[in-house]
Structure 1
């Protein structure tokens, strides 16, 4: 039996690692760190830095492995499903090699494993491949890092909040019945498709990290500024993680 701990580590700041997460990391026998290519090596490096800061001697073995790349040439859902299957195969091989007699392994997950992250769905695919128990240690979410950075409440008084993706916002429009909308996984500046009249935006890139960028203001006034900052940051880092909250005047 392999116990697999999926440990939320926050959004890149080592101070976001909770005491529960620290304990889980130190009781694991192996920690697996995925590599996503040279352009995103910062993500692996942040995991390495967290391990160096949190792990106590003798500590678990830290192993790195390469993730397969998603084929974006076909349909979105089919491509994601095939990609998750391929990742599960790699995970299974890495776990079997690292713990041939069973034991405790851990993955460090950005933010919280339950919020717009596929780690739990990939872990579910392992059940048919090996005897495995999955445990989850929650982490600070990108949403919490966004609102903390801007020092704002997530919701209007008594109001609901919709959490969606950039693709859904662009394709489906503003979620009905919500004045506040959090947008994650936006690859194409979907806020540009929103009617800016009466809309305020709080935008953060690399929320919680040392390189965090924050811009806020009426959408009509700051949309261009955000687009320019986003392009410059992507060119500088080779990747970008951003998140934003849109709110209509009530």
Structure 2
């Protein structure tokens, strides 16, 4: 039976690897990596650096394939993601069939934690459902960008006896979640936090007619980009003051590197 390790490798710092992750890496015969193109070649290099650090003499086998492009301009977000994941599944299935012998162990090195906003587990389940190849698989949890973010800012995700919600930029753009004052936002390409600088309302909605719907929320933001890497950028403070700085730094970083990965915590202060 083939075996697959899905290994969380942290948010970017090689020291994020747990002892469990190191053991799984050293138990692996073949590592599968998807190449995301020249702009993100440093992400591939970080994986190589991790393997070099934990497998003496570079005695490992690495198999690369090109990551399929995703249509990020379509308004049909869910179908576009489903199509992209299925095309990824085609690639993973071929790699497992062609590059992994029946008695070998393969591994996917996953940024952050494989159980939080990552597609690898769902893709492997799709492959198993197809029935063309069988394998056993396990998951090694990793340090997510969410965990790393709040650690870098020396704060917690939640406050005493209060919930925290993790959501996406698309969801936040539709309104601040009700009943929650601490919201972590991932996958926000359009900086949805900006609308809460001037038109957030006390009842948890975002309204273009701000004058008719109440005063802006009192919020703090804890933002980070390229967390755990040498390019890391951190900004925190009252949202109204921090937002312009985040927009400027984000634009500059994206122009410099060609891509950006960022995460932030929005903290509403209803009683301040």
User: TM-score, normalised on structure 2?
Assistant: 0.88
Is the Cα contact below 8 Å between 1:183 and 1:244 reproduced in 2? yes
The aligned counterpart of 2:210 is none
The aligned counterpart of 1:132 is 135
2:234 to 176, 196, 214: 214
**Aligned partners of 1:73 and 1:147: how far apart in 2?**
31
Is the Cα contact below 8 Å between 2:8 and 2:114 reproduced in 1? yes
The aligned counterpart of 1:42 is 42
Q: Runs of 4+ in structure 1 displaced over 4 angstroms? A: none
The aligned counterpart of 1:167 is 170
The aligned counterpart of 1:149 is 152
**Aligned partners of 2:14 and 2:263: how far apart in 1?**
19
Quick check: 92-101 or 43-52, which moved more?
92-101
Is the Cα contact below 8 Å between 2:222 and 2:264 reproduced in 1? yes
**Aligned partners of 2:101 and 2:9: how far apart in 1?**
27
1:190 to 185, 189, 192: 192
Is the Cα contact below 8 Å between 1:197 and 1:220 reproduced in 2? no
Is 1:199 the counterpart of 2:219? The answer is: yes
User: TM-score, normalised on structure 1?
Assistant: 0.96
Is 1:110 the counterpart of 2:111? The answer is: yes
**Aligned partners of 2:9 and 2:108: how far apart in 1?**
10
2:257 to 227, 237, 242: 237
Per-residue deviation at 1:158? 1.3
Per-residue deviation at 1:197? 3.0
**Aligned partners of 1:60 and 1:38: how far apart in 2?**
23
Quick check: 56-65 or 26-35, which moved more?
56-65
The aligned counterpart of 1:23 is 23
Per-residue deviation at 1:72? 3.3
Q: Where does 1:71-86 land on structure 2 (aligned, <5 Å)?
A: 71-74=71-74, 75-86=76-87
Is 1:224 the counterpart of 2:227? The answer is: no
Is the Cα contact below 8 Å between 2:225 and 2:260 reproduced in 1? yes
The aligned counterpart of 1:69 is 69
**Aligned partners of 1:97 and 1:57: how far apart in 2?**
25
Q: Across the two proteins, how many residue pairs are aligned to each other?
A: 249
Per-residue deviation at 1:59? 3.8
**Aligned partners of 1:219 and 1:58: how far apart in 2?**
46
Is the Cα contact below 8 Å between 1:6 and 1:106 reproduced in 2? yes
Larger radius of gyration: 2
